[in-house]
Structure 1
Amino acid sequence: MKIVLINPPHTAIGSRVPDDHLPPLGLLALGGPLLDAGHQVRLVDAEFGPMPLPALVEDALGDGPDSILIGHSGSTSAHPTALQIARMVKGRAPATLVYGGIFPTYHWRDILAGTEAFDVIVRGEGEATIVSLIEALDRRRPLADVAGIAYRDDLGRPFATRSAGTIATLDDYRVGWELIDHRRYSYWGGKRAVVMQFSRGCPHLCNYCGQRGFWTRWRHRDPKNFAREIAWLHREHGVDLINLADENPTSSKKAWRAFLDAMIAEDVPVLIVGSTRADDIVRDADILHLYRKAGIIRWLLGMENTDEETLSLIRKGGSTASDREAIRLLRQHGILSMATWVAGFEDEGFRDLWRGFRQLIAYDPDQIQALYVTPHRWTPFFRIAKDRRVIQSDVRLWDYKHQVLRMTRLKPWMLFFSVKLIELAVQSRPKALARILFHRDPEQRHSMRWYTKMGRRVWFREVWGFLARDRRVTDGPTLAEFWGAPQDAEEESMVVMRPPRKPAEATVAISPGA
């Protein structure tokens, strides 16, 4: 079959401002298995430009595809654009429209009931499911036999098949790297780059995380195979930088140490950036010298907050002491630290923000990323926040960079400019400026200057957006009224529902589509 993969243009500021652009790993992960199954596959990456939607649709329909697959890593905030594209395509071609990602995995009922633009939704990991689905469409077999999808039945009602479960061995499915021109993709200030995953999932229980339950359980690639693939990308395609999309790649010290050793053995000048937990950095104090030798140049540390009570509320599992120690250890071993700090978990006031600012200064990170709490319906935190009022009704702005929930003690402009001032003060403190200007390592100096340049552009763009473009509602609905009832009972999206052996011993298992 002829298949087109569409990466919709994203509206998030972070996607629009930088000159660099990374390839859509999720779509490429589907492309590899489809190519290996003998299908003709083409990628339309509308992030370049960004491409106007009419031009995107014309490109996608140009060779008369049998199926069109739409997905985006910024799943929730990209949904309105994905829906608009599907509606523009619908009726112009007989192609089957397939939609996948984290947001549609959980919102499949609402999507299928609210629009006929999408024909099928893939729930959970798509590599195995998409091959079975395309084969069923090609041979006109019943879709009910395909695990891990949702569609409308003969009566027009949303219907979900049994869960496909998790992929046990990630190395069984390859990424379709041949679908992209590597020369077009870069990051970190013009370095040729790709996104990869060493692992999927996370063993920790942070109750606000929108991805932990999607992957259901933590698994990892074969360390040597993964290092070998990185080396191949460098030697064959000139890739200089790997952006790890893992939630927590260092969960297993044994597996991660094996990967570090394998990368060192490959001896390629590839830089690696990603995110992990501060606790894992402290745990690995004895092998951090191998991190840098293997190419690790920056870790984003998901600290989320600097208040111990808030960390307990969101079940982060870390501590302010380990956060500070992790930053110190990374700097000692020549690795940059980026600390994420999230506002809005609780009803903060100016005193709380001031305390958070002082803690950030004490942490002394190389970079910070200030975000706003963005609750997802399938997470336990959504139930905690379900009665809070929504101030941002434009779903395209539910991207962590815009305040979406009302605070009672701070008006939106108060919180916004407090956060902007905190960013400015932390990034402009003398220590930070001295590292940007005079760091001994030229690679790190380049990295910090690139991030500072990009951050400055984003900062001014966000201020302009808040003042002139973004609109907020003053008497909005509650979170539950806006999105619907909590779905935390379905958080683990790929739990397989097995029938009981005996009726008398039956137990209830809840899974998406049940």
Structure 2
Amino acid sequence: MRILIVAPKFTAAPGDFYQFPLGLGYISSALKRAGHEVHCLNCNHSATDPVQLVAETVRAIKPDAVASGGLSPFMPMVKDLFAAARRVKPDVINIAGGGCLSSDPEAGPVVMDIDVGVIGEGEETIVDLADALERGRDLAGVLGIVYKDSKGAIKRTLSRPAIADLGTIAWPDYDGFGFGDVIDLQRPTDNYFFHTKDKPRSIDMITSRSCPYRCTFCFHPTGKVYRERPFDDFFAELEYRIERYQINMVAIIDELFSLKKARLLEFCERIEPYNLQWMVQLHTNCAEDRILDAMKRAGCTYISYGIEAMSQEILDSMKKKSKKTRIDVVLANSYDKKLGIQGNLIFGDTNETLKTANESMSWWANNRRYMINTNRLQVYPGSPDYIEAVRDGLIKDRVDYIDSQFVDLNISKMNEDDLSILATKIWSAQSGLLSIAEPTIFAKEPEPDPIRGDLYRVAWDCPRCYHHNDYRGVLMGDVANEQSLRLTCRGCLSRYDVPNELRVRFEDRPEKPALDARFAEAQALIDAGRRNETPPMLHEMVGQAVWYWPAHVELGRFYASVGAGPSAVRHLGAAIQFNPFEPACHIAYAERMMEEGAIGLARVHYEQAQKLDPGNMDVLLALHDLENGPYSEEQRETYFISYSDAPAPQRLAAAPNACGSRRRDEIEFPDIAQLEADTQRLMAAE
């Protein structure tokens, strides 16, 4: 059978870094091993529009089937690829896989123009499916798929058992997708893991599949059964990749690296002689001192910890199986041992309240040395949160939800206004509260990369360990809009924000004089007591130049004066996001936080203003008043407040304990008949 496997385009231009689609690599190898004629198309290696590229390739090779897939966020581009294949060859068999299909298998064939979807782990299923298609076998006998029958009805077959021995799977087909053409182009700022090398040569590998935990926000694309790969097979592949690509780094992208401490220690012992740098994702329960010491000794540079919350109530709700005290100990130990730390706090769990969110944000504000990211929770298809939201009526149409890219669904116990402004505040903190390390050198390299463009040398001294870092071959991308580079110290593996010396500074922007003149008109109205007349002028200004912070600040003050707190916070936050090195933006934001009672946020933004302008007496006085003022401990650690008395999202399931105590991993999707009704509805609409 002739099969075209398409890797969707994840990059803006050929040569840009992207994470290799490992799942498609495994599928290609499985089909080639079974004797099929496989063609691989990697859209990332061409400047041609992916839709046009797929059309040209299908027209040229006339495949029997086109296969593609990826994680749920990539659904729109995968959808476009299948549509392009169908237009050129109407009888082509479109086959989807990966998280974008497996997360809700019945909805996938409605959202995408596909004939068959491979659910979960695909190596055995795709070979069985290809054989059935080639021989004309009934697809009802192929385990682990969803398909459209001759009448267009969506059918799902019985599940396929998980592959027990991961050592029997053919290694992923990197060569077929042209990986060797791009590994030379990797640069230190392509990924935080690459920071320790001026010339990284990294590859992704796995030592296990799935995860034994059932975190409520997470979906496991390879199924629910956690399996570990034999180390002999892993290290045989590693040796092959070293010889084939001369790699010096390996990213272990398992959902969870290991539960067994003995296995962790064995891995460290076996990988140490290769003298590679590597990273993993690890549960804090496994990170004992001796484990961390062994990992450091064996070349581990980064550990990605699943933190997610620092309210015990939310950790329990998320089914994280972790304790705040343990997380604190592990992060402190990792930091002291000079291991790089990667982690996230995600706000908006089904039991999140302002109280629990304040607990997590208070921890973040007092532990900024770890550089933990802050994000709003996204309800990904297939996750327990998603299944519960469907059943409880928060998601009324699965097809529309997936097709709209599942953005910002509120499943929490906060109302929409409160969660929306919380998200604005954490983004302002993430983008504006910087740990600054001033550059000692910021200069263009003599020779550009022939494909990726200008390269830069960025040198800086670490504020923690005083190590002199000298990064070579740095790519800047859109240098005018990048305020800073978050880089890793190669001595202690802490991260700092190095100001981008190439950025267009506020005072140097050519549009500024005209905007200043217009702002002076608004200021004259304010001085004359006519502030209510200024918003149209100010909105026009920020519409013309979103970076023009004086207009954002004045809009923030206006909306605060008329009681529109959310609008005030959004404009003051925008001023910071586009001008994080401007003390006046942080001061205006902090003043507003004081007025509304978010004392914790006021403090950290005043502290940021002090770092930027150490001699500013207004800031020093404000910090003195905060330190000595009549504030309770609770007030000092308040970051989020309520802006509305509106209720939280109302769930249809109103029975006692209907939402809080039941096991979300046991909830089933609604009947497939509903999806077939949705299909008919969409067809009728067309």
2:2, 2:64 within 8 Å by CA — same for their partners in 1? yes
- What residue is the counterpart of 1:31 in the other structure? 28
Deviation at 1:66, TM superposition (A): 2.1
- What residue is the counterpart of 2:150 in the other structure? 154
Structure 2 residue 212 is the aligned partner of structure 1 residue 203 = yes
Q: How does 1:101-250 map to 2 (within 5 A)?
A: 101-113=98-110, 117-173=113-169, 174-179=171-176, 180-185=178-183, 186=186, 187=191, 188=194, 191-211=200-220, 214-250=222-258
- What residue is the counterpart of 1:471 in the other structure? none
Q: How does 1:39-78 map to 2 (within 5 A)?
A: 39-48=36-45, 52-61=49-58, 62-72=60-70, 75-78=71-74
Q: Which amino acid aligns with 2:88?
A: R
Quickly say closer, same or farther: Cα 1:442–1:455, change in 2 above 3 A: closer
Structure 1 length-normalised TM: 0.77
Structure 2 residue 30 is the aligned partner of structure 1 residue 22 = no
Q: Which moved more, 1:379-388 or 1:327-336?
A: 379-388
The separation in 1 between residues aligned to 2:470 and 2:312, in whole angstroms, is 37
Unaligned runs of 5+ in 2: 439-459, 472-487, 503-544, 548-569, 575-648, 654-662, 670-675, 677-686
- What residue is the counterpart of 2:279 in the other structure? 273
What is the DSSP-based 3-state SS (H/G/I as helix, E as strand, rest coil) of the residue aligned with 1:112? helix
Quickly say closer, same or farther: Cα 1:218–1:433, change in 2 above 3 A: farther
Deviation at 1:86, TM superposition (A): 1.1
What is the DSSP-based 3-state SS (H/G/I as helix, E as strand, rest coil) of the residue aligned with 1:109? coil
> Which of 406, 409, 424 does residue 417 from structure 1 map onto?
424
The separation in 2 between residues aligned to 1:436 and 1:456, in whole angstroms, is 22
- What residue is the counterpart of 1:4 in the other structure? 4
The separation in 2 between residues aligned to 1:151 and 1:172, in whole angstroms, is 27
What is the DSSP-based 3-state SS (H/G/I as helix, E as strand, rest coil) of the residue aligned with 1:150? strand
Structure 2 residue 314 is the aligned partner of structure 1 residue 310 = yes
> Which of 435, 445, 454 does residue 489 from structure 2 map onto?
445
Deviation at 1:30, TM superposition (A): 0.7
| Deviations, residues 200-223 of structure 1 (Å, cap 9, x unaligned) | 1222232222128x5211111112
- What residue is the counterpart of 2:262 in the other structure? 254
- What residue is the counterpart of 1:510 in the other structure? none
| Deviations, residues 228-280 of structure 1 (Å, cap 9, x unaligned) | 3223212321222222221111212222222222112xx22322123121111
Quickly say closer, same or farther: Cα 1:346–1:66, change in 2 above 3 A: closer
Considering Cα pairs closer than 8 Å and 6+ residues apart, tell me whether 1 or 2 has the greater RCO. 1
- What residue is the counterpart of 1:507 in the other structure? none
Q: Which amino acid aligns with 2:17?
A: D
Q: Which moved more, 1:445-454 or 1:344-353?
A: 445-454
Deviation at 1:127, TM superposition (A): 0.6
Unaligned runs of 5+ in 1: 458-462, 469-476, 493-512
The separation in 2 between residues aligned to 1:456 and 1:120, in whole angstroms, is 51
Q: Which amino acid aligns with 1:230?
A: L
- What residue is the counterpart of 1:375 in the other structure? 379
1:349, 1:409 within 8 Å by CA — same for their partners in 2? no
The separation in 2 between residues aligned to 1:16 and 1:223, in whole angstroms, is 37
CA RMSD of aligned residues (A): 4.2
Quickly say closer, same or farther: Cα 1:479–1:368, change in 2 above 3 A: farther
Quickly say closer, same or farther: Cα 1:490–1:408, change in 2 above 3 A: closer
The separation in 2 between residues aligned to 1:488 and 1:20, in whole angstroms, is 36
2:79, 2:111 within 8 Å by CA — same for their partners in 1? no
Q: Which amino acid aligns with 2:363?
A: Q
Structure 2 residue 319 is the aligned partner of structure 1 residue 328 = no
1:194, 1:243 within 8 Å by CA — same for their partners in 2? yes
Quickly say closer, same or farther: Cα 1:235–1:18, change in 2 above 3 A: closer
What is the DSSP-based 3-state SS (H/G/I as helix, E as strand, rest coil) of the residue aligned with 1:176? coil
2:69, 2:100 within 8 Å by CA — same for their partners in 1? no
Structure 2 length-normalised TM: 0.59
Quickly say closer, same or farther: Cα 1:455–1:221, change in 2 above 3 A: farther
Q: Which moved more, 1:314-323 or 1:239-248?
A: 239-248
Deviation at 1:138, TM superposition (A): 2.1
2:52, 2:84 within 8 Å by CA — same for their partners in 1? no
User: How many residue pairs get matched?
Assistant: 464
What is the DSSP-based 3-state SS (H/G/I as helix, E as strand, rest coil) of the residue aligned with 1:215? coil
> Which of 77, 81, 88 does residue 81 from structure 1 map onto?
77
Identity %: 19
Quickly say closer, same or farther: Cα 1:478–1:389, change in 2 above 3 A: farther
Q: Which amino acid aligns with 1:70?
A: S
The separation in 2 between residues aligned to 1:96 and 1:456, in whole angstroms, is 52
Q: Which moved more, 1:432-441 or 1:185-194?
A: 432-441
Deviation at 1:349, TM superposition (A): 6.9
The separation in 2 between residues aligned to 1:175 and 1:249, in whole angstroms, is 19
The separation in 1 between residues aligned to 2:252 and 2:546, in whole angstroms, is 31
Quickly say closer, same or farther: Cα 1:398–1:130, change in 2 above 3 A: same
Quickly say closer, same or farther: Cα 1:154–1:165, change in 2 above 3 A: same
The separation in 1 between residues aligned to 2:249 and 2:651, in whole angstroms, is 39
Q: Which amino acid aligns with 2:265?
A: R
> Which of 278, 286, 291 does residue 287 from structure 1 map onto?
291
Quickly say closer, same or farther: Cα 1:181–1:339, change in 2 above 3 A: closer
The separation in 2 between residues aligned to 1:412 and 1:86, in whole angstroms, is 36
Deviation at 1:412, TM superposition (A): 6.4
Quickly say closer, same or farther: Cα 1:84–1:388, change in 2 above 3 A: same
- What residue is the counterpart of 1:405 in the other structure? 410
Deviation at 1:411, TM superposition (A): 5.0
The separation in 2 between residues aligned to 1:211 and 1:367, in whole angstroms, is 26
Larger Rg: 2
Structure 2 residue 333 is the aligned partner of structure 1 residue 319 = no
What is the DSSP-based 3-state SS (H/G/I as helix, E as strand, rest coil) of the residue aligned with 2:28? helix
Deviation at 1:347, TM superposition (A): 7.3
Q: Which amino acid aligns with 2:423?
A: F
What is the DSSP-based 3-state SS (H/G/I as helix, E as strand, rest coil) of the residue aligned with 1:438? coil
1:166, 1:215 within 8 Å by CA — same for their partners in 2? yes
What is the DSSP-based 3-state SS (H/G/I as helix, E as strand, rest coil) of the residue aligned with 1:423? helix
- What residue is the counterpart of 1:100 in the other structure? 97
Quickly say closer, same or farther: Cα 1:395–1:67, change in 2 above 3 A: same
Deviation at 1:42, TM superposition (A): 2.8
